[in-house]
Amino acid sequence: MTVSVSTLTAVVPGPEVLAPPGGGDRGQILVVEDEPGLAEILALNLSASGYEPVVVHDGLEALYALDRATPRAVLLDLHIPQVSGFRLIQLLKQRPETPQVPVIVITALSFQEAEEAVRTGADDFITKPFLPEEVVRRVDSILARVS
Going from N- to C-terminal start, the domains of the chain cover 2-146
| 91-115 tens-digit pLDDT | 999 999 889 999 999 888 677 777 7
Instruction: State the CB neighbour count (10 A cutoff) for residue 3.
Output: 9
* Among candidate residues 33, 37, 35, the one with its CA nearest the CA of residue 54: 33
CA distance 47 to 43: 6
> What is the chain's mean pLDDT, rounded?
83
CA distance 39 to 55: 7
Of 26-30, 31-35, 62-66, 120-124, where does mean pLDDT reach its minimum?
120-124
The strand pair at 52-56 and 73-77 is best described as: unpaired
CA distance 139 to 137: 5
The correct CATH number of 2-146 out of 3.40.50.300, 3.60.15.10, 3.40.50.2300, 3.50.50.60 is 3.40.50.2300
CA-based diameter of the chain, in Å? 39
